[in-house]
Amino acid sequence: MISKPLLQNLPSTADLPCSDDTPVDNEDQNLLPNLLLLSLIYLWSARMDWYFGVDMAVYHTTGVSPKVPVVPDGFLSLEVERKKGGKSRRSYATWEENEVVPIFVLEMVSHRPGGEYDEKLELYAQLGVLYYLIYNPEFWQRDRHQPFELYKLENGVYQLQIGEPYWMPEVGLGIGRYRGLVGGLSQEILTWYDAAGDRELSPEERERQRTEQERQAKEQAQQRARRLEELLRAQGIDPDRLPDV
């Protein structure tokens, strides 16, 4: 831990690299965290007290140097500005965020193991990240783990949680896996859930749902109009010659 006098001399994020420049191993490492972000932008559009970063450097004072970041595939912080000073962040430094550390971190395992089950697990525990999700859909057997493992920090130690989707009350969201269509292709994705265990729909799904509801409402109105017309004709009244009211 860096002593408090040194905190005054910590660098600004404007002077720090925004990532570790390590290329991702596959497109899902960018796609899946960004889908979570896009969903949050819709779900929490009225909230300005959160930030979700994707493949962004997180600088902190619990490691060997404040200039050495950890770069999660995705992370969520609460009680921070969505736009830092009205501008987009280049990176995330805890000393510029009132010491707010991410409450949720996502790491996706690829064909090159990156210490997700040991080094990063220990680092995030030291940092104080409450929830740590390791998503390993392809190499879980190689690593002798499950494809979806969510850990919660309890008394400074991560404990593997049971159940999926898993509700995170401190976050106000649940998370789990779902197989759906992404760009017309079927694939497994990570997605948010509500407290009842129901999946939060994507913006596209909500738009399709709204369009379908409007279509059904229009069809029902047309059916009611046809039934009224048939009733009037049965009474000998021409519905096309009704007097103006």
User: Per residue in 53-103, pLDDT tens?
Assistant: 999 999 999 988 899 999 999 999 999 999 998 999 999 999 999 999 999
- Please answer whether residues 14 and 90 qualify as being in contact, where contact means their C-beta atoms are separated by less than 8 angstroms: yes
Which pLDDT band, with edges at 50, 70 and 90, does 243 fall under? confident
pLDDT of residue 135: 98
- What pTM value is reported for the model? 0.81
165 upstream amide cis, omega within 30 of 0? yes
pLDDT of residue 205: 76
Tokens of 35: 């889908």
Residue ranges covered by each domain of the chain: 4-200, 209-237
Tokens of 159: 């404990």
pLDDT of residue 2: 45
pLDDT of residue 20: 56
Spell out the SS3 assignment of 7-51.
HCCCCCHHHCCCCCCCCCCCCHHHHHHHHHHHHHHHHCCCCCCEE
C-alpha–C-alpha distance, residues 186 and 180, integer Å = 5
Helix intervals (H) in the chain: 4-7, 28-43, 119-127, 140-143, 203-234
User: Per residue in 18-43, pLDDT tens?
Assistant: 665 555 567 889 999 999 999 999 99
pLDDT of residue 40: 96
Which pLDDT band, with edges at 50, 70 and 90, does 5 fall under? very low
C-alpha–C-alpha distance, residues 92 and 84, integer Å = 10
Q: CA angle at residue 200 from 50 to 27, to 5 degrees?
A: 75
pLDDT of residue 25: 65
User: Per residue in 175-198, pLDDT tens?
Assistant: 999 998 888 889 999 999 999 999
For the segment(s) 4-200, the CATH number from 3.30.1330, 3.90.1570, 2.60.40, 3.40.50 is 3.90.1570
pLDDT of residue 63: 84
**Of 12-21, 22-31, 120-129, 141-150, the least confident:** 12-21
